[in-house]
Amino acid sequence: MAKTMLGCVRTDAGQLDVKQVLVPEIEEPDDVIIKVSLCTICGTDLHMADLPLPDVVMGHEGIGEIVEMGDAVTDFEVGDRVIASCLLACGRCANCQSGDQSACQHPEGGVQHGTVLDGYQAEFVRIPFASMNICRVPDCLSDEQAILATDIFSTGLGVLERVPLKTGDTVAVFGQGPLGLCVTAAARALGAGRIIVVEPSSFRRKIAKKMGANEALDPTQGDLNYKLLEMTDDFGVDIAVEAIGKQETLYNAFKAARFGGAVSSLGVYGIEFSDLQIPVSHDSLTPNAFYHRRFVTTLCPSGTNRLKRQMDLMQYSGIDLSALWTHILPLESILDGYEMARNPESKALKISVRPNS
Ligand SMILES: [Zn+2]
Ligand SMILES: [Zn+2]
């Protein structure tokens, strides 16, 4: 008889349930099965919960121990503590071969179906294309630190690397949720000069300072656009990062970027906004906010090598992301975590969920 386990399942668009589901099994030679020690809820999961695809175990950020491997997995061993990129790379398609693994063209890779790797909010998860997408975690890194490399810290680095950020750049980050806070930490790690964050929550502004922000502005107080120009001698910032996925923050990011600067966005707009507006020449403060800017959008850079580089950065640079972890919940109560993640007043950032403890 097939074994079952506890998992958080999307039953219908917008409906989640914690219930018994089948334990995943090896399906392809390059699969591994991981016993999940820690999983978490990502802002993207809130969008994934709304997809009209039922019977899917939720969760794309996790860490755990390999308990079973397909015959083609040769670089790892049962018992290895590993993480996996949340966007799977097949390693063979044209985009994977050209180094852009998160744009993998394989039907089960990248975001071809508008999905990411799922299944982590359960006791066990199957990882396809494991050889290309999993990475051993050094013993000195906690589960909470390493798991951030699977999505939000990699994305935080990527949104700046794709501009690319130059040493000493002035960076403004619009939104300081968990992803925006990772952008702030990444900007500091990559050598930004001045880092200005824009965030209405005083709690999140305080965490942003711990992540390396120099100044934290409340967009509800005064004229944000005027303030940012005043702070930068009327030039604007080198890189304005939109880190929420809202029309308003994207608009403000365009207004803040200097002539010749960049707007870089990691927002997932698709479900709430099918069209976006960009300011061109809207007022006397920031005329021609559109011309001669670079506009870059970024999904999570993925693949084993990407994870390995982040493990090295976390191990040797002294970067500390621990302030992101605000709550601990058992898997049985994960729906309370979704409620907290949906409520901007909750003071929840990353929620630690341990399915096997
Ligand atoms: Zn995520
Ligand atoms: Zn591929």
- What residues does each domain of the chain span? 4-151+300-353, 156-297
What's the 191 CA to ligand 2 centre distance in angstroms?
Answer: 31
Q: How far is CA 281 from the centre of its chain?
A: 32
CA-CA distance, 25 to 1, in Å (whole number)?
13
Instruction: Assign domain 4-151+300-353 to a CATH class.
Output: alpha beta
Binning pLDDT at 50, 70 and 90, where does residue 287 land?
low
Q: Which ligand is nearest to the CA of 40?
A: 1
Binning pLDDT at 50, 70 and 90, where does residue 106 land?
confident
Please check the confidence at residue 309 and state whether its pLDDT lies above 60: yes
Q: Which of 115-129, 169-183, 224-238, 294-308 has the weakest average pLDDT?
A: 115-129
What's the 101 CA to ligand 2 centre distance in angstroms?
Answer: 6
pTM of this structure: 0.95
SS3 for 52? Answer: coil
What's the 131 CA to ligand 2 centre distance in angstroms?
Answer: 13
Please check the confidence at residue 174 and state whether its pLDDT lies above 80: yes
SS3 for 355? Answer: coil
229 phi and psi, to 5 degrees?
-65, -45
Helix (H) or strand (E) holding 188: helix 178-190
* pLDDT score for 196: 98
CA-CA distance, 133 to 322, in Å (whole number)?
24
CA-CA distance, 163 to 190, in Å (whole number)?
12
**Which ranges in 91-136 belong to alpha helices (H)?**
94-97, 130-133
Cβ atoms of 46 and 338 within 8 Å: the answer is yes
CA-CA distance, 92 to 207, in Å (whole number)?
41
**How confident is the model over 27-60, as pLDDT tens digits?**
999 999 999 999 999 988 988 898 888 999 999 9
DSSP codes, 249-315: HHHHHHHHEEEEEEEEE----TTT-SS----SS-SSSSTTSSTT-EEEE-----SHHHHHHHHHHHH
What's the 178 CA to ligand 1 centre distance in angstroms?
Answer: 10
CATH architecture assigned to 156-297: 3-Layer(aba) Sandwich (3.40)
What's the 229 CA to ligand 1 centre distance in angstroms?
Answer: 33
* pLDDT score for 14: 87
Q: Which of 149-163, 207-221, 259-273 has the weakest average pLDDT?
A: 259-273
CA-CA distance, 348 to 350, in Å (whole number)?
6
Q: Give percent helix, percent strand, percent coil of the chain, each to the nearest 5.
A: 30, 25, 45
Q: Which ligand is nearest to the CA of 350?
A: 1
What's the 257 CA to ligand 2 centre distance in angstroms?
Answer: 34
Closest listed residue to residue 96, CA positions, set 267, 304, 265: 304
Please check the confidence at residue 302 and state whether its pLDDT lies above 70: yes
